Amino acid sequence: MGRLSGKTAIITGAAQGMGEEHAKAFVAAGAKVILTDINEEAGKALADSLGSDAMFIKHDVAKEADWAKVVAEGEARFGLVNVLINNAGVIGKIAATTDFTEEDFNFVCNINQLGVFLGMKAVIPSMIKSGVGSIVNISSIAGLVAIYGSPNLAYVGSKFAVRGMSKQIAVEYGKQNIRCNSIHPGYIRTPMMAAATDEDGGEATSMIPLGRLAECSEVSNLAIFLASDESSFITGTEQVIDGGMTAV
């Protein structure tokens, strides 16, 4: 029996980066996994490679109708959904607040904040029917502290919002046996990070007490723990995985 045997999980932003690693790890741990992403080609290819315990649905997380489709098709294939990993997110424009447009701000918040809200709203009824649920919202250390030297008000605001919404859901739905926690990664070795610095994180590693980037698998291990019954009394928390950055 795997750590996630009997679990049916939706993982958003699952076609690449951390989401791809989460999808692989969750299937390996015994879960049935509904992968969603706007990148249809990569998402389908990944789901096909993971076998019969995975399926892919093209999905814009900022659209309520898309969420309804994901839950309905996921339930039809794998049964009631009892795990949600709200992983999809964007960084958006790096600029002074006065240089942000309303469109710049809404682009980030529609995916990072509205998408998380719509996902939780769509999945909670399935979790209530299931009798158990775990929601894991991927925030950031930018949901705990401001970003110095790389201004992005929309990103920071949206990631703080994810932290707060997670606590509210934990309190609101605890009696229905639904848990909700947020994960706050620091610098992770992803293609996006490599493009911004280099494979090893460049100068960014000088700010990390452990002296290296995190591997995507390390974040996946934390997500598996929070999704599993091993964390059955953990809810409403922020789980920091940053190599000690925010301890300084």
Average pLDDT, the chain: 95
Residue 152: both structure tokens together: 């992005």
pLDDT score of 204: 77
Is 173 an annotated catalytic residue? no
* Active-site choice (148, 155, 173, 187): 155
3-state SS class at 193: helix
pLDDT tens string 47-78: 999 999 999 999 999 999 999 999 999 999 99
pLDDT at 222 over 90: yes
* 153-173 vs 102-109: helix crossing angle, rounded to 10: 40
pLDDT tens string 148-175: 888 999 999 999 999 999 999 999 999 9
Sign of the dihedral through C-alpha 101, 103, 106, 110: negative
Cα 118 from Cα 68, distance rounded (Å): 9
Domain assignments of the chain as residue spans, ordered by start: 8-187+216-247
192 against 50, higher pLDDT? 50
Cα 245 from Cα 247, distance rounded (Å): 5
First to last CA, the chain: 40
Cα 195 from Cα 206, distance rounded (Å): 18
How many percent of the chain have pLDDT more than 70? 95
The CATH superfamily of 8-187+216-247 is: NAD(P)-binding Rossmann-like Domain (3.40.50.720)
Whole-structure pTM value: 0.96
pLDDT average, residue stretch 18-27 = 97
